[in-house]
């Protein structure tokens, strides 16, 4: 065992991202006694109402407050700590449209990274998970989230950088989430059909749908199927963003566990020796004396 509890930090762009990407992994580690902190870069202020049942008077006008309450409920369900980093949602402008003034995606890198560096130095995570360089999909806030997470991973341990944000701390591993890969979509689609069940994913496994989306190689597959139900409850807590009658909930948890019982990651940086492929984000750390 380690000298101190292991700590995991997940860095996300908007409230609800933590529940749709890596949530079962976090729930598994929480159940194992790992300390987990979610850092959310923006408040999701420019989000639309994506659940028809929530499209009612007053909700959109108070979307920031509503989403803060949703995030608090989701964090409670997952058993994780949570920190807002305080930036404003950039929205998803159309092609050629400028980003809103003052939004997260237009911040200088050091300005955008400073709150996360402070969070890393305070929480002292051993592992950080976030999106790859493409953001997982081309939302400006997701792309900026990758940039600040990499910056924090590389800078938080350097006492000369980001003065006034706490004592230096060097995280040991950085992972990119391999979310909703073509391989995953295809396996779930074919697995449902093979069981005589209707698949909602037929249109999503076409070439057009995956155009421009990253196809990362998974180095680390974390078995977490026992926590898919917790993941789903956390997703549904984001009631403005998630339609409980939508396709994401059409695959029964037991069927999903049979087809694809893991959430997958790509190891992007490591300061410890580890052997790939891995089945644990803390591979190379367990059994070692972890300071902090």
Binding-site residue numbers for Zn(2+) are: 14, 17, 142
DSSP string, the chain: --SS--EEEEEESSTTHHHHSSHHHHHHHHHTT-EEEEEEEE--TT-----GGG--TTTGGGHHHHHHHHHHHHHHHHT-EEEEEEEPP---PPTTPPPPTT-GGGS-HHHHHHHHHHHHHHH--SEEEE--TT-SSS-HHHHHHHHHHHHHHHHTT-TTSSTTS-S----SEEEEEE-S-HHHHHHHHHHHHHTT---S-GGGGSHHHHTT---PPPSEEEE-GGGHHHHHHHHHHSTTT--TTSGGG-S-HHHHHHH--EEEEEEEEESS---SSBS-TTTTTTTS----
Q: Which residues are annotated as a binding site?
A: 14, 17, 142
Cβ atoms of 221 and 262 closer than 8 Å:
yes
């Amino acid at each position: 065992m380690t000298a101190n509890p292991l700590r995991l930090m997940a860095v996300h762009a908007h409230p609800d991202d933590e529940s749709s990407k890596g949530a079962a992994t976090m729930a598994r580690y929480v159940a194992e006694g790992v300390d987990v902190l979610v850092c959310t870069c923006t408040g999701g202020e420019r989000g639309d109402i994506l659940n028809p049942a929530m499209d009612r008077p007053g909700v959109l006008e108070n979307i920031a407050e509503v989403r803060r309450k949703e995030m608090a409920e989701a964090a409670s369900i997952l058993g994780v700590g949570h920190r807002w980093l305080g930036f404003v949602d950039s929205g998803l402008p159309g092609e050629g449209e400028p980003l809103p003034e003052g939004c997260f995606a237009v911040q200088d890198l050091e300005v955008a990274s400073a709150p996360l560096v402070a969070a890393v130095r305070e929480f002292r995570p051993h592992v950080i998970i976030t999106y790859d360089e493409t953001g997982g999909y081309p939302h400006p806030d997701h792309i900026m989230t990758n940039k600040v997470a990499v910056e924090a991973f590389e800078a938080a341990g350097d006492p000369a950088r980001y003065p006034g944000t706490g004592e230096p701390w060097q995280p040991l591993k950085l992972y990119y989430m391999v979310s909703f890969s073509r391989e995953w979509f295809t396996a779930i689609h074919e697995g449902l059909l093979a069981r005589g069940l209707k698949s909602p994913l037929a249109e999503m496994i076409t070439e057009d749908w995956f155009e421009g989306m990253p196809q990362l190689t998974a180095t680390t597959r974390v078995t977490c199927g026992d926590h898919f139900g917790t993941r789903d409850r956390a997703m549904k807590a984001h009631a403005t963003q998630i339609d409980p009658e939508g396709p994401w909930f059409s695959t029964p948890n037991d069927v999903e566990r049979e087809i694809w019982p893991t959430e997958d990651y790509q190891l992007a940086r490591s300061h410890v020796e580890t052997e790939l492929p891995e089945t644990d984000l803390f591979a190379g750390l367990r059994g070692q004396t972890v300071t902090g």
